[in-house]
Amino acid sequence: MKRIAIDERPDWRDSAAELGFRFHTIDGEPYWDETAYYAFSLAQIENDLEDPTAELHQMAMSLVGEVVESQELMEKLAIPEAYRDWIAASWREREPHLYGRMDLAYDGNGPAKLYELNYDTPTSLYEAAFFQWVWLDQRKQSGAIPDGADQYNQIQDLLVEAFGTIAPGLPKPLYFSAVRDSLEDQGTIAYLRDCAEQAGISTNTIAIEDIGLSADGRYTDLDDYVIPALFKLYPLEFLFAERFGPALPTSGIRLIEPPWKSILSNKGALPLLWERHRGHPNLLEAHFETGDEGVLAPGWVRKPLFSREGANVQLKLADGSMHESPGPYDDAPWIRQAYHALPQFEGNYAVVGSWVVADRPAGIGIREDASLITRDTSRFLPHVIL
Amino acid sequence: MKRSHTVRLLLMGAAPIVLTACESEEPVSLYKDVAECVASAKLTQDQCDAAFNHAKSEHERVAPRYTSQKDCETDFGASGCQTINHGAGIQYIPLMAAYALGYYAGRPNYYQSQPLYYSNVGWSGGGGGYLNSGGQQVARTTGDSRVARSAMEAPTRAVTMSRSGFGSSASARGSWGGGGGKSSGS
């Protein structure tokens, strides 16, 4: 695994505009960054990233099967009581899921370590599945990257296939929804909707804020049509807590990601995985906070059960120095995870986002940040297999 | 090769191509009018009447709506549209061109009817055919056919009592880290 500097394609911004990539620059700061790329060997990809992703995913799925049968575990994960039966039923009925991303710390040697699972509302999908693919194709054509180079990225193939697989059992149209004003989230659902259309699914869109509730407890679009199926790029735990939440279990709506994903998007899944697979080479030691731990000891990280984009993370290095990210998610229980440094390349901290589509490892995307905590300020860099 | 063989965009950008999902198909019968239905000899006059009347009664409620006559005629042809006024001002909807009778699997004596619309542009691969109110392709011609089950599930409407019951967490948590347009993803 190497970080290799390279010239940008001179016209990549035009290409981005043509290809619907509207959030390559966020608040004036670069997000898509092709001034460098990461190069992996095939062995690194297959042995150190792809295989562990498949194994970690299977471990996560068996964890769901266990949690839905246990009130005690649901309680530990702070899942509201009113939704527990509905969540459990969605698992027993095997309501299909689409995708997830696990964030791995990996430096090219030794086992990748699981930082967390983003299994409910993962973003950075379009740039991983589509735009980095186009980047490689064009760089190879221009001779900037050797012709034999490949990329670990079957994400789009598998997304279209997964949509095709779930299509027969899915009521239609499938609505795609995200908060209205987030360019990034809107871009991500536009891409997913495109993949669904490619699989022959009829689709529609609605902003999360525009969803209506009918007198008989069903969700409606702006023309009063009942929404039969909803892909929501919006956290399940937000839906649970909001005014329309209580109607979810009886509304008849089919959600993607399905309700049972709330178990895996929860940081509490990390200590539960550790308890069941103590010492697994790809896991970091993790515990629920009980309240008597005292202050954070050196070498530990503190994360809220519910958090997005690296918010509200505290970490204390071995030298005693403290690093903290601000955020609004300070109202949930916390977990502690053993600190494992992100590798640094040319002064940048890189995290590997490893995608799972349906139940298969699908590809990776790499984000870099200037700080130890990867946040929504990070940049996305393409990769190749050489 | 460890990457997608091709990547495509239909709506966001470039090349149009559709892989059709293998959805389970159901038998369906399309009739232009009651006479064609009776002539098929599968249903009695009364059944044909009832099915037609049901589709007709649904028509104004479920037909795709347009605010401009031009947009409607682009999709359904010159003089292929009518006006309605349901309190939202004048709107344009296509004329009901046929009705479809779908038989639900496992419920042999149960059928439901729905209005269909004829479009020359709503078909992949060119040519014209009948669409349901959701714009899904049903069949090129009247008579017996098979369609994806979803094409016979007409969209349902309900009276909306309230909106904006979702989205408050995003706005409440959106005040940190750089301006509006906060992502709720991860």
Say if B18 falls within a structural domain.
no
Say if B92 falls within a structural domain.
yes
User: pLDDT tens per residue, chain A (386 residues)?
Assistant: 999 999 999 999 998 988 889 999 988 889 999 999 999 999 999 999 999 999 999 999 999 999 999 999 999 999 999 999 999 999 999 999 999 999 999 999 999 999 999 999 999 999 999 999 999 999 998 999 998 899 999 999 999 999 999 988 899 899 999 999 999 999 999 999 999 988 888 899 999 999 999 998 999 999 899 999 999 999 999 999 999 999 999 999 999 999 999 999 999 999 999 999 999 999 999 999 987 777 788 899 999 998 777 788 888 888 888 888 888 777 778 999 999 999 999 999 999 999 999 999 999 999 999 888 877 779 999 999 99
At B63 the pLDDT is 86
Range of the domain at B128: 24-185
Please check whether residue B109 touches A, CB under 8 A.
no
At B155 the pLDDT is 63
Say if A203 falls within a structural domain.
no
Q: Which of B1, B11, B186 sits opposite A121 (nearest CB)?
A: B186
Q: Which residue has the higher pLDDT, B185 or B149?
A: B185
- Separation CA B42–CA B101 (nearest Å): 11
- The answer to whether A383 touches B3, Cβ cutoff 8 Å, is no
Say if A173 falls within a structural domain.
no
Question: Best of A208, A257, A264, A369 to disrupt the B interface by mutation (most B CBs within 10 Å)?
Answer: A208
- Separation CA A64–CA A292 (nearest Å): 28
Say if A211 falls within a structural domain.
no
- Separation CA A84–CA A285 (nearest Å): 27
Residue B178 pLDDT > 50, yes or no?
no
Say if B9 falls within a structural domain.
no
Say if B132 falls within a structural domain.
yes
Closest-CA distance of chain A to residue B39, Å: 33
The encoded tokens of residue B123 equal 């078909």
Residue B94 pLDDT > 80, yes or no?
yes
Say if A214 falls within a structural domain.
no
Say if B121 falls within a structural domain.
yes
* Inter-chain CB proximity B18 and A197 less than 8 Å: yes
pLDDT confidence of B19, banded at 50, 70, 90? very low
Those residues with Cβ within 8 angstroms of residue A250's Cβ, 6 or more apart along the chain or in another chain: A217
Range of the domain at A60: 2-151+262-266+344-385
Q: Tell me which chain B residues have a C-beta less than 8 angstroms from the C-beta of A208.
A: 166-167, 170, 184
**What residues 12-31 of chain A have any CB closer than 8 A to a CB of chain B?**
18-20, 26-27
Say if B99 falls within a structural domain.
yes
> Which among A53, A83, A59 is positioned nearest to A71, based on CA atoms?
A83
Number of domains in chain B: 1
Closest-CA distance of chain A to residue B90, Å: 15
pLDDT confidence of B101, banded at 50, 70, 90? confident
Number of domains in chain A: 1
- The answer to whether A167 touches B23, Cβ cutoff 8 Å, is yes
Say if A312 falls within a structural domain.
no
Please check whether residue A199 touches B, CB under 8 A.
yes
For the full predicted model, state whether its pTM sits above 0.90: no
Closest-CA distance of chain A to residue B62, Å: 9
Q: Provide, for chain A, the percentages of residues in helix, strand and coil under a 3-state DSSP scheme, each rounded to the nearest 5.
A: 35, 25, 40
Q: Which residue has the higher pLDDT, B27 or A228?
A: A228
Q: Tell me which chain B residues have a C-beta less than 8 angstroms from the C-beta of A118.
A: 186
Say if B158 falls within a structural domain.
yes
Say if B2 falls within a structural domain.
no
Instruction: Write down the ipTM of this complex.
Output: 0.85
At B180 the pLDDT is 38
Say if A184 falls within a structural domain.
no
Please check whether residue B161 touches A, CB under 8 A.
yes
